[in-house]
Each structure stands twice: as structure tokens, then as C-alpha cells.
Amino acid sequence: MNIFGRGRSGKRRGGPDLAARVTALQQVLQVGGPRLGEVSARRADELIGKLSQRLTLAGDNTVAALAGATGSGKSSLFNAICGSAVSQVGVRRPTTSTATAAIWEADPEAAEPSALLNWLAVPRRQLIAATGQQASLDKLVLLDLPDHDSTETAHRAESDRLIELVDVFVWVTDPQKYADAALHRRYLSRLAGHDAVTIVVLNQADRLTPEQLRAAAADLTRLLRADGLDAVQVLPTSVVTGQGIETLRGALAQAVGRRSAAAERLSADLDAVAVELSADIGTGEIDPATVHRDGGLAAAMAAAAGVPTVLAAVEAGYRRDASGAVGWPFTRWLRRFRPDPLRRLRIGRAGGRADAADTVARTSLPPPTPAALTQLDLATRRLGDAASAGLPPRWAAAVEDAARPPQVDLADGLDRVVGEADLGMRKPAWWRVIGAIQWLLAAAATAGLVWLLVLAVLGWLHVPPPNTPYLGPLPWPTLLLLGGAVVGLALALLLRPAIAVGARRRRDRVAALLDRGLASLAEQRILQPVQRVLAEHRETRRALEAVRSGR
């Protein structure tokens, strides 16, 4: 009779290489870090330590433990399995304060598994010769645990400690306490998935009639299924009549004979901790590559960086400089009354260059308005909400935090983008050509004016003037003066539409340049941190999948 469960899949548990699964669990803890629940992460870390120690001490021994409540007859059942009074049985309760170990060994020359027992910290030990009826129990280490419902806190703690370490559980209950809520809530329900290494004994069967025993066993089976132990069978026993003792001994012999109970227990523990961690990790995340600037982030960053102000200054600066380069030379002095907008903002000409004491370009742009900062905060929130969709709370919070860098740092980055931008303020070649023409026209007008003044002075002095050449009806001095002035001023006026077009084009080029700079800033300060958290979540989730048995 095989009373061990095979798990819900119907297959023996043991899973793939335990060492590989432990490595995957370590990766989960390492990458997941503080984004995992504190309780589940601590249990996983403790399990890694237990796995490392138990696999080191694996050997050929199988450790089973009899656990039960006060008065369930656990110690008497332990003695019945051993065939002698190894564990003390008393009238006063609770009796068992520390665990007792019975070690079956067929070879009288073999030493007891002291390293394993020292790790279990079981001081009371009894060696039993695995001969005759006991031969099938060779290499079994059977523990009689303190009562799990003892009034002594130290007894309960000792029982709980060893329950976490053993390979096979033998839960001993009785007709009065088999439905105890504490037993099912604190222990049996937490062993869901450990069917392959769990035996449930309904002891003191002699106190019930056959009909009552069948009803109690059926009810206990129902409760076990509710606990998640679907494949565990209930074994009725009685130390008084000997009922079920040999069957229980045979079940323990099955565990020993498989030589895999330790691996099955550890594999089930890994399954359990994987289920617990899955609540902290979830089942998926959006593709990090799909995270991009949307939801108004680009516009909000531009507004916070003062890009509209910069573009207006670029356009005005172009108009001012162009007017100075191609305008009528004798009216250029008026430009002094129009301050350089870019110089006032410390960008372009004065900005974008760091001095010896400050390696960061600074501008004189006004700080972002509260409205602009609010829009930027809303845009980063929308991005964080979209990127964290479907993630558990801790991971979602990490994504949202990554999407919202400190406002001071972001404002500094925005100012740096504008301050270090090359606004392309070089003068176009046509400015120089037109400027040269304007100077020639100005020189002609000047020459005509001087010529006319000389003629006027000679006339005032009654000195006969030299012959003045004419071009048609106009004398050359007048023609030079009027032609140079009129043509120069007309040329300046005619070039105003070309200056306006050039100003808009420069504005558009600078807008594209700043957009690329802001996109790079968003990539570095917002998108990459968000993508990094999502990539870490994916790595953690895949490592958790490797922890699960059967993967």
C-alpha cells in the first residue's frame, strides 16, 4: 500500500536539478531585492540556507518526524514503531520537551550520522539495529517532536524548528483533535504541495467503532483536501490493538527505499516559496522597448525648459543681427537701442560655454512656472502609470519612482540642455555679400555728399568751381548721394521678408536641436531608469519560473 501522495500532477516530485533551482532563487532575491515582500524574501533566504546545508548533509539518511498535539499518543506510537521504549511516555502533559531521535542502521560498524543530527540539534539519540522486521528501515532517522500545541513556548518553538528541517512529515492526531483549526491553519495548510512527503495518522482508533472510524477518517480526508493536500491518505492506528503500526512502518520504509525524500521535501519547499514570491512578482510586464515619450511628456519638458522663450529669443536675435549685417550702415546705430535677447538669456553667444569655475553651462532663463512643473509632473506620472500597468505594488512603485526623478535634478538637466545647445548663430554668407554692397552704397552716398559740400564751400568763397560731370539731367555728386542713400535704404527694406524667412528657419532648426536634446535627457533621466526596472522585473520573473519544479 502506497500512502504517499504524488502531488497534483500525478508525478513524483524531485523536479530538475535542485542546485540549479537554488541558483535561480538566489537570482530572484538578488535582482528583485527590496521590491519583494519582506516576509516572502526572508523565507526564501532561509530556504536557501537550509537547502545548502541539507544537500551537503544528504548522505543516505532519510529524516522523518512524528508531530502531533498533546495527548495524541505520538510518543507511544514512536515507541511502537521503534519496538522499544525509546521516547518517554508520561501521565503529566506535556511530556516531550526536546526531540528524540531513533536511527536505524543495519551495519553495526557504521557510525551514526552525527553531522546530520548535529545540524538538526537533536541531543537525545537511540541507535536501533535494522535487522529482522526493522531491516526495511535502514538509514531512517525518526524524530519524536515536542507537542506543537504545548503550553510551553520553548516546546512549540522546538517543534516548529524541526518541522522546517525534516524530510518526511508524520502528523499524528486523534479522534478528538483531528479537526482542530490551529493544526490545519498553522501547519497542514502550509504544507500544500508536500503530498509526496506527508503522512497523516489518525491515532487511538481503538476508541471508535468501525463506523465512527470510517466517518472520522472521511471527514479528516475532506479537511486535508481543503488544506491543499489532495493526495494524502489518512492512516488509522492504535498502539493498544496494534492496528496500522505495520502499515505505518511500511510507509516509512517506502520513504527510505526511495532515497529521494529529502529532495522531494526540498523541491516542495521551493514550489511553496515560488508560489509565495509569485504574489510579489506577478505574471508579466510591458516590453521595456515599448516605453516611450508620450502623454505630453515632450511638450511638458519643452515648457519647463523655457523652450518657447528660447525660440522667441533666437528669432528676435536673428532679426537683430541680420538687420545689423545687411541694413543701411548709417542707421545701424539704432540697433544699440535693441538689446541682444540671446545675450540677456546667456545662451547662444554667452551661454553654452563653461568658465573655469563652473563646468555646467547655466542660463538666465526664468525658472519654470508652477503650471509648467505641474504639467511635467502629470506627464511623468502618466508615463509611470502606463509602464507599471499590471505590476505588483512594490514593482509598480519602483517604476513610478523611476519615471519621476527629483524635480531639482530634472530642472538642472533641462537648463543644461538649453545652456549647452549650439544655436548655430554663425552669419550666413549672403549677409556678408549684401553687407559689402551696402557699404559700397554708403561710400557712394558719402562721396556724393562730400563732393556737394566741396562745391558749396567753393561757391561760398567765390572760387570758380570745377566743371561738374552730369549723367543726364543730374550731376554726379547728387546722383551718388541720392542713389547710394535711396538704393541702400530700399535694399534694406526689400530684404526684410528674406530676414523673416531666415529667422523662422533658424527657429525651426533650433527647435529640432532642442527637441533632440530634451529627448536625450528624457531617455537618460526617465526612460532608461523605467526600462531598467522593467528589465529587472522580467529577469526576476524568469528566474522565478526556473525555480518552479518541472520547468
pLDDT confidence of residue 154: 83
10-residue stretch averages of pLDDT, the chain, 551 residues long = 50 62 94 92 92 80 90 90 71 61 83 83 86 87 88 83 91 92 89 90 94 94 93 93 93 88 88 92 86 77 84 82 79 66 62 41 69 86 89 94 83 78 74 85 86 83 80 83 85 86 86 86 89 94 85 50
CA 326 from centroid of its chain's CA atoms: 59
Chain centroid to Cα 540, Å, comes to 8
Residues 6+ away with beta carbon under 8 Å from 262:
54, 55, 58, 62, 63, 167
The pLDDT of residue 321: 80
- pLDDT for the residue 35: 93
Residue pair 438/330 in contact by the 8 Å Cβ criterion: no
Domain spans of the chain, in order of start: 60-260, 288-435+500-541
Instruction: Say what the pLDDT of residue 358 is.
Output: 42
Distance CA 318, CA 503 (A): 5
Write out the H or E segment, with its range, that includes residue 63: strand 62-68
Contact by Cβ (8 Å): 419, 346: yes
**Per-residue pLDDT, 402:** 92
What Cα–Cα distance (Å) separates residue 111 from each residue in 20, 114, 115, 140, 458?
32, 8, 11, 14, 138
Predicted confidence at residue 346, as pLDDT, reads 65
Q: What is the pLDDT of residue 88?
A: 58
Q: What is the rounded CA–CA span in Å between residue 456 and residue 57?
A: 122
pLDDT at 490: 86
Does residue 474 sit in helix, strand or coil? strand
Query: What grid cell was written down for 487?
Result: 538704393
pLDDT at 10: 38
Model confidence pTM above 0.85? no
> What pLDDT, on the 0 to 100 scale, is given for residue 9?
39
Region 60-260: CATH code: 3.40.50.300
Cell of 97: 520537551
Rounded CA-CA distance 116/86 in Å is 20
Q: What confidence score (pLDDT) does residue 71 get?
A: 87
Asked if residues 85 and 76 have their Cβ atoms less than 8 Å apart, the reply is no
